[in-house]
Amino acid sequence: MNTLSSPATVAQDATHVFHRQLRHGLPVAVSGQGMTLTDASGKTYLDACGGAAVSCLGHGHPEVRAAMHAQIDRLTYAHTSFFTTGVAEELADLLIDTAPAGMSHVYFVSGGSEAVEAALKMARQYFVEIGQPQRRHFIARRQSYHGNTLGALAVGGNAWRREQFQPLLIDVTHVAPCYEYRDRRADESAEQYGQRLVAELSEAIERLGPQNVMAFVAETVGGATAGVLTAVPGYFKGVRELCDRHGILLILDEVMCGMGRTGTLHACEQEGVVPDLMTIAKGLGGGYQPIGAVLAQGRVVGAFRQGSGLFQHGHTYLGHAVACAAALAVQRVIQRDGLLAQVRERGAALQALLQQAFAGHPQVGDIRGRGLFWGLELVAERGSKRWFDPALRLHARVKSEAMAGGLMVYPMGGTVDGRCGDHILLAPPFIASEADLGEIVERLRAALDRAVAGCG
């Protein structure tokens, strides 16, 4: 494709890029500013999902661009087996200063899946270091997403994504996620439901033998599989106690829900628990550069120090200087501009707008979220909570109707009996104004209605 004369849309038979979707053309994005992206025809799209919950500062932020330019002028790349860099050290300091208690070190990678892979291997090597090499099982949750690389896919619980790769995946035990809308029984309180889930986890641990389990892996707030799945009160405290009782590590995946998205820097702050390892990515660099990280507890790092002294893992671009500079700038702007408080305040406004627009909508079964992280669960019938026939691909129709109407929302769907159903995720940049949020909800309502009408 000639980039100097970009068409507005690239047709599927006119591209050499191996796009994920091979049957559809895509608009060509040419610029981004604040809340909007613009394509080659000049059409603008209001970004209500930050791509995949990434663009926390919106697009083209001048200070982040300046920080990246300055870093590019100084130093772009120094391999981490030869050097550290000032900018990686500063970013790690900032992340540890603001991390949950006991976190002492940051392992930088280039994205979410890499962070999850590193955390899984860190957990395994930790037990080798402390003389418990028999621990070889991970327990994770159904209806979860931890990335698309093989380890991350193995702990992930999205049936549709795993299906064809199953023969390549390590054996992971999956337990139920916290999915109140569908799974809490009428005769139990939210707390009792949480206790039932913890009991299920406990049974899984007993079945495997507590001495054989390395870690329990969970998204603190579920994101990319079933809309936004928030935990009921007490659930994560129960999980933490159980892990402590058996010497099992708790790995919280905050790649999507972390770095301010839910209104606190880390979503686990709202659960009152501290994980042993925590993965972060998307909002860390806000999309300005690919970057992710694992935050590790001092005692985990200590075991490596006192043991072999080497984490047997690594990638070429760990702690990339420009990526660290971008992330450092993003995090400093968030701190300086008080954007976490803004996420809480605008989040409440978004919640109210969503309730107003969709509480009575026949195809919206549930509206759930925290901060600026919201999901709509779409149903064919509210009473029975029956999902649409997955062949209709309602979520994808909503996405394309929204794009036609100049709005980006993040769809997910598929499977159904193995669970997932149609969901729409909203994760607007923290800089969204109340007027932006009103516009987002209005355009989404119109897109949903057109998409449902298209299902016949």
Name the residues that contact ligand PLP, by CB under 6 A: 52, 111-113, 116, 145-147, 219, 223-224, 253, 255-256, 281
Cα 247 to chain centroid distance, Å, stands at 27
Q: Which of 430, 436, 300, 444 is nearest to 358 (CA)?
A: 444
Give the span between the Cα atoms of 177 and 141, in whole angstroms. 5
Q: Which is nearer to ligand PLP, 146 or 393 (CB)?
A: 146
Q: Which is nearer to ligand PLP, 112 or 238 (CB)?
A: 112
Contact between 300 and 249 (Cβ < 8 Å): yes
Residue 424 CB, shortest distance to ligand PLP, in Å, is: 15
Residue 176 CB, shortest distance to ligand PLP, in Å, is: 17
Residue 306 CB, shortest distance to ligand PLP, in Å, is: 30
Q: Which is nearer to ligand PLP, 108 or 388 (CB)?
A: 108
Q: Which is nearer to ligand PLP, 113 or 351 (CB)?
A: 113
Q: Which is nearer to ligand PLP, 217 or 232 (CB)?
A: 217
Read off the DSSP letter of residue 451.
H
Q: Which is nearer to ligand PLP, 256 or 277 (CB)?
A: 256
Contact between 268 and 244 (Cβ < 8 Å): no
DSSP calls for 73-90: HH-S---TTT---HHHHH
Residue 351 CB, shortest distance to ligand PLP, in Å, is: 21
164: amino acid identity, one letter: Q
293 strand-pairing partners: 108, 280
Sequence-ordered alpha helix ranges (H) in 295-433? 298-306, 321-336, 339-358, 394-404
Tokens at 421, concatenated: 């159903």
Give the span between the Cα atoms of 347 and 429, in whole angstroms. 11
Residue 21 CB, shortest distance to ligand PLP, in Å, is: 16
Residue nearest to ligand PLP (CB): 112
Residue 165 CB, shortest distance to ligand PLP, in Å, is: 15
Residue 414 CB, shortest distance to ligand PLP, in Å, is: 15
Q: Which is nearer to ligand PLP, 281 or 339 (CB)?
A: 281
Give the span between the Cα atoms of 180 and 185, in whole angstroms. 9
Give the span between the Cα atoms of 172 and 140, in whole angstroms. 7
291: amino acid identity, one letter: I
211: amino acid identity, one letter: Q
Q: What is the β-pairing status of strands 249-253 and 44-47?
A: unpaired
Residue 100 CB, shortest distance to ligand PLP, in Å, is: 17
Count CA atoms within 13 Å of residue 78 on its CB side.
13
Contact between 217 and 175 (Cβ < 8 Å): no
Residue 336 CB, shortest distance to ligand PLP, in Å, is: 26
Q: Which is nearer to ligand PLP, 251 or 353 (CB)?
A: 251
Count CA atoms within 13 Å of residue 225 on its CB side.
30
Q: What is the β-pairing status of strands 373-378 and 364-370?
A: antiparallel
Q: Which is nearer to ligand PLP, 112 or 369 (CB)?
A: 112
Q: Is 115 exposed, middle or buried (0-12, 13-18, 19+ CB in 10 A)?
A: buried
Q: Which is nearer to ligand PLP, 34 or 151 (CB)?
A: 151
Residue 198 CB, shortest distance to ligand PLP, in Å, is: 21
